[in-house]
Amino acid sequence: MLLTSLSLVLTGTPALAGSAERAPATPRPLPLHRLFDNTAISDDARPDGADFDGAGRSLSAGDLRAAGWTPGRTLALDAARLTWPRSAPGEPDNVRADGQSVALRGRGGAVTFLVAGTGGTASGSGTIRYRDGTRGTYTLTAPDWRSGPAATRAVTLPHVNTRDGQRTEKARLYAVTVPAERGRAVASVTLPRDPGPETDLHVFAAAVRETDTGWTGSWSRAVGGYAKAGPWTDRTLRLVVHTSTGGRGLRIRLSNTFADTPVRIGAATVAVQREGAEPRGEPARLTFGGRSGTEIPAGAQAWSDPLRFPVPAAANLLVSFHLPETVTAVPVHTKAIQRSYLSEQDSGDRTGDTSGAAFTGSLTTYPFLTGVDVRGGPGSVVVLGDSITDGNHSEEGGNRRWPDVLARRFLEQDDVPRHGVLNQGISANRIVTDRYPGEGVDRDTAGVSAQHRLERDALAQTSARTVVVFEGINDVRWDTPPEQVIDGLRAIGERVRARGLRAVAATLTPCEGYPDCTSEVEARRTAVNTYLRERGTRENGGPFDALLDFDEVLRDPGRPTRMLPAYDSGDGLHPGHEGLRALADSVDLRELVKRGR
């Protein structure tokens, strides 16, 4: 099924906020909670105490509490910090959009709304008003709370309350982000008009996604699914991450993506790795809002407080965090290609250990940890990809994926600013189709589609300046028509550029010799590459600012349907170390750091 149009509306359309059009007089903006006119949440003991959809159905207060979505809680969703309504069950807790003017404050490149539709998917256009008197428009679409897609939900609840009692049926809420003029101070937003007599667009929270001034992303990994673990009880994880750029300070990001329950972090530290699980000296303590630990609600993220800590470039860090409670499933990036460590069951908080003796177990995945940011720097280049970017067939612990080589190239030159490089590849990921369904514990950790994860894994990454898209080979290998792959690539490029970021695409590399790379697959691959070369870039009317012709880099000139043998890992699809290096070495760094628009 083609998901392009859905993906586009979930993140909105360009704000066009750069125009100097003066805003006409409007009603005085009010805080969102003062506009609440609908009650969506009922107490489970009184399921008839709310009417979210006009048919007596409502959200379960007990389910929300079990997910960690308690009244007044700050929820970090796709790098935006939203406040869940402070209302008690049975009290107004959301507004049905109908042109209301909402007071907002902040300076950033996007506005995030926490929404749901009732009576079907609800959509409409609104206005962002800036403090300098100008304005821009946006389109906000809220999927239906009972039938909307799992892949883009912020949280899923297991029940729906009705007048006749509680029913086992999934309910979903969505965080939807729309573009704003980067760096311009927001004064208010006008919500869309009522979408129609049968449909309502409900807004629970809204916030400007602030610009990450003074931070650069140095390391990241994308969550590919929600998988069984352990069970782990009272254990400490010590994860090894390899920085791209360095800095004078640090913060980490922990994510509870795809989860249905909160996770408690008891303590966390960071250190430079000496060897294995042993740090160089005493690990530095991290805090969260001034506290040693934190609880991360279902579907949300948590950043540690800034820490003065000299972060070396191209070095291994040990990020340790204690899980004091029993954990049976984790948001996970499966293909770490790096050995990390965990302590024994019921061994307590070992985050401050100055030796590795307590860490008797090992991991080859990344649970919970999704980012390490450093102070200073010019910003980040984000690479959205599949197994070739994730590093399949590269050496464990060798940091020889092509984005690793690209990061070292940035460090070894002075012609352009030394950007961080963030690897957001997921093995087996696709552009059009979700491999992981988006909710529930599942063995498949190949992620939701690139279109569905674009907001979280690319646009919301710390100080993202450029997004490189190198995906599509898995789609054409699994019979997706090239027209759908092209539509997906085009949609991604347009969304990236709507945020003021530079959009770069890469051609699909040859795969002859891999068992399923038939002549039909080659024809689809060729069609996608022809589009990218002839109509993909802005100079040809396409959405991308630049093109990396990775097909030309890797192919055998004498037989262009296959990879040059010197670059092949041996399976025909994945490059070996020489091929990965060739990809990175072929990139003109200047093409990655020019202004997007």
Residue of 374, 437, 380 whose CA lies nearest to 407: 380
- Identify the residue whose tokens are 């409502």: 58
Q: Of 424, 418, 412, 464, nearest to 217 (Cα)?
A: 464
Beta strand 369-375 with 215-220: parallel, antiparallel or unpaired? antiparallel
* pLDDT at 594 (0 to 100): 77
Q: Note the pLDDT of residue 8.
A: 32
For the chain, the distance separating the N- and C-terminal CA atoms, rounded to the nearest angstrom, is: 32
**Ramachandran quadrant class, 21 (left: phi over 0; alpha: psi -120 to 50; beta: rest):** beta
Rounded Cα–Cα distance for residues 29 and 102 (Å):
5
Q: How many CB atoms lie within 10 A of CB 547?
A: 19
- Mean pLDDT over 529-542 rounds to 97
The pLDDT of 452-480, averaged and rounded, is 98
Tell me the average pLDDT across 7-33. Answer: 53
Please report the pLDDT score of residue 195 as a whole number. 86
pLDDT at 82: 98
Beta bridge mates, 270: 284, 319
330-345 b/e with 16+ CB inside 10 Å = b? bbbbbbbbbebbbbee
pTM passes above 0.75 = yes
Task: Report the sign of the C-alpha dihedral through residues 507, 512, 517, 523, in that order.
Answer: positive
Question: Quick one: average pLDDT of 210-218?
Answer: 92
pLDDT one-digit tens code per residue, 315-371? 999 999 999 999 999 999 999 999 999 999 999 999 999 999 999 999 999 999 999
Residues 6+ apart with CB under 8 A from 474: 386, 387, 428, 429, 430
Bridge partners for 361 per DSSP: 342
**Contact (Cβ atoms closer than 8 angstroms) between residue 52 and residue 59:** yes
Q: How many CB atoms lie within 10 A of CB 360?
A: 12
| Host H or E run for residue 590 | helix 589-593
pLDDT, one tens digit per residue, over 398-442 is: 999 999 999 999 999 999 999 999 999 999 999 999 999 999 999
Strands (E), 78-199: 80-83, 95-96, 101-118, 122-130, 135-142, 155-162, 165-179, 185-190
In this structure, how many other beta carbons lie within 10 angstroms of the beta carbon of residue 308? 9
Give just the sign of the alpha carbon dihedral 265, 271, 273, 278. negative
HEC string for 452-478: HHHHHHHHCCCCEEEEEEECCHHHHHC
In this prediction, residues 263-292 reach a mean pLDDT of 98
pLDDT of residue 196: 85
Select from 285, 475, 452, 306 the least CA-distant residue to 376. 306
* Look-up of token digits 């086992």: 168
Distance of CA 341 to the CA centre of its chain: 25
Give the model's pLDDT for residue 182. Answer: 87
CA pair distance 104, 106, nearest whole angstrom: 7
Rounded distance, CA 487 to CA 492, Å? 9
Lowest-confidence pick of 24-33, 72-81, 371-380:
24-33
The pLDDT of 463-469, averaged and rounded, is: 97
pLDDT at residue 375 greater than cutoff 80: yes
Higher pLDDT, residue 279 or 195: 279
Name the pairing type of β-strands 80-83 and 247-255: unpaired
Look at residues 156, 105, 146, 163 and name the one whose alpha carbon lies nearest to residue 129: 105
| More confident: 5 or 138 | 138
Distance CA 400, CA 382 (A): 17
Radius of gyration of the chain (CA): 24
Note the pLDDT of residue 183. 82
| Predicted pLDDT at 55 | 97
pLDDT for residue 14: 37
CB 389 within 8 A of CB 229: no
595 confidence band (pLDDT: 50, 70, 90) = low
Query: Sign of the C-alpha dihedral, residues 106, 257, 289, 317?
Result: negative
DSSP secondary structure of 564-575: -GGGB-SSSSSB
Contact 298/153 with Cβ under 8 angstroms? Answer: no
Q: Cα 548 to the chain's mean position, in Å?
A: 23
d(CA 362, CA 277): 10
Structure-token pair, residue 88: 């008690």
Mean pLDDT of the chain: 94
Average pLDDT over residues 540-550: 97
pLDDT of residue 9: 34
pLDDT score for 27: 77
The full set of domains in the chain, from first to last, is: 4-210 (no CATH), 222-375 (2.60.120), 378-597 (3.40.50.1110)
Question: Which of left, alpha, beta for 310 (phi over 0: left; psi -120 to 50: alpha)?
Answer: beta
Q: How far apart are CA 243 and CA 310, in angstroms?
A: 12
What would the two tokens of residue 238 be? 């010590």
Spatial separation of the C-alpha atoms in residues 245 and 250, rounded to whole Å: 11
For 515-526, give the DSSP string.
Answer: TT--HHHHHHHH
| pLDDT value of residue 447 | 98
Q: What is the DSSP string of 334-364?
A: ----S-EEEPPTT----TT-SSSTT--EEES
